[in-house]
Chains A and B, each alone.
Chain A
Amino acid sequence: MSNREKLRGLMVEVFLLTDEEFRFDLTRAEIDTWDSLGIVSLAVGIEETFAYHLTPDEATRLGSVQDVMTVLATRGVDFAA
């Protein structure tokens, strides 16, 4: 499974979305479950899926799916494929 597919699956699970609702250009403002609980849940999911522990500051600043990809890319996660 590619990292893009892993991320798609993770975001759907964390934010309780349907597959149809997910897009890679989604922003936090478009996801009502991306609230304070969602931030915690996303951090746990990223650690489980990509073995990267977000700092609280990083987790709070994320504002879009693209932001998640950018942070993970700096930690060596390749989303090109």
Chain B
Amino acid sequence: MPREPLVWTLDQLTQAPLGAVQAWATPSVYSRVESVLPYRLTPPFTSGGVVPESVVVVGGGALIDEAKVWVRDNAPGARLIAVPSIWGSGAEATPIAVLNRHGRKQITVDDAFLPYARVLWPELGATVPASRALHACGDCWAHALEAFLSPLASEAIRAEMALLLGELSAMPLSYDARWFDLSYRAGAGQARASVGLTHGIAHTLEGALHEQQPDGNWSHARLCATFLWPVMELTRSTSDKWQTLTRRYDLDGDAVMSVLRRLFDPHAYHRALPILASMWPDVLRDPCTRTGGILARQSHLRHFEQFEQAAPAQMEPQR
């Protein structure tokens, strides 16, 4: 069995004998982190000429993933201490790095990427804006649901994910300290199985949307939150896998769909749809798409185009 990162509280982090430390923090929590951690913060991906024994990275999934690669390449053997500032990505749980390179997502897997420890500091997420919190919840949901439906998931992973999905169904789609641990579990689940079409769409579209709609506030999490419902409706309509697995694991599929409707952002969907249409062949080639729970087909683009008309009638009352 692969090891899991140690789980530390903030007190354990500040008291741990970490040797020479490089500490990095994302701008949104920089001042708070600077006032609490006993280390001098430096710009990310710099070492000041000293090879660190430990790297403490406080931030979202993108920063944590870049830190994984930096540590492997520049300070092999150093402990990577991941402190998520927002829930959703589960980056602190996985040996996977999803990197933005030239407008495209590059996925690399390396056992060396798995953090030495993850730190629970959920208060960092308490001031996240409501819309960003909703998207983070969608990211977590996408990991758990796509891992549950993954053709690479063992029965044990499916059982774990079904249990997790039941817990997620009872969560508010807003800040709650429990999201950090739930996201960790979802991230660990998808790392042992695979994700699917939702992630294939998100990875393919994100760079193009940033470039073509720089005002769109696009993020991986927003795309996952927005596309998870249409992808699951496609799954439900084209394969008996949804019905078979939800029944086998005693999962309330209607309750799950109800949450996905609340995660859906019709404005984002409307703006992303033309890009989806133009990049559909790339979506079909994406590694996440190709290891997903359903076979994504050329004709499935029509489902997404028709979904825009069908969705409003099925949406939940506004959150």
Contact = CB atoms under 8 A, between A and B. Distances in A.
Given A41-B295, A44-B292, 14 more contacts: A10-B295, A13-B297, A16-B281, A16-B284, A37-B287, A40-B152, A40-B194, A40-B290, A41-B291, A44-B151, A44-B295, A45-B295, A47-B241, A48-B239
Contacts of B287: 37
A30 B294 CA distance: 25
Contacts of B284: 16
Interface of A: 10, 13-14, 16, 33, 37-38, 40-41, 43-45, 47-48
Q: Which of the four size classes fits the interface of chain B?
A: 10 to 19
Contact of B298 (A13, A33, A40): A13
Contacts, number: 33
B238 interface: yes
A12 B175 CA distance: 45
Interface of B: 151-152, 194, 238-239, 241, 281, 284-285, 287, 290-295, 297-298
A41 B285 CA distance: 11
Contacts of B292: 44
Contacts of B290: 37-38, 40-41
A33 B281 CA distance: 14
Contacts of A10: 295
A47 B245 CA distance: 14
29 contacts: A10-B295, A13-B295, A13-B297, A13-B298, A14-B295, A16-B281, A16-B284, A16-B285, A33-B285, A37-B287, A37-B290, A40-B151, A40-B152, A40-B194, A40-B290, A40-B291, A41-B290, A41-B291, A43-B151, A44-B292, A44-B293, A44-B294, A44-B295, A45-B295, A47-B241, A48-B238, A48-B239, A48-B294, A48-B295
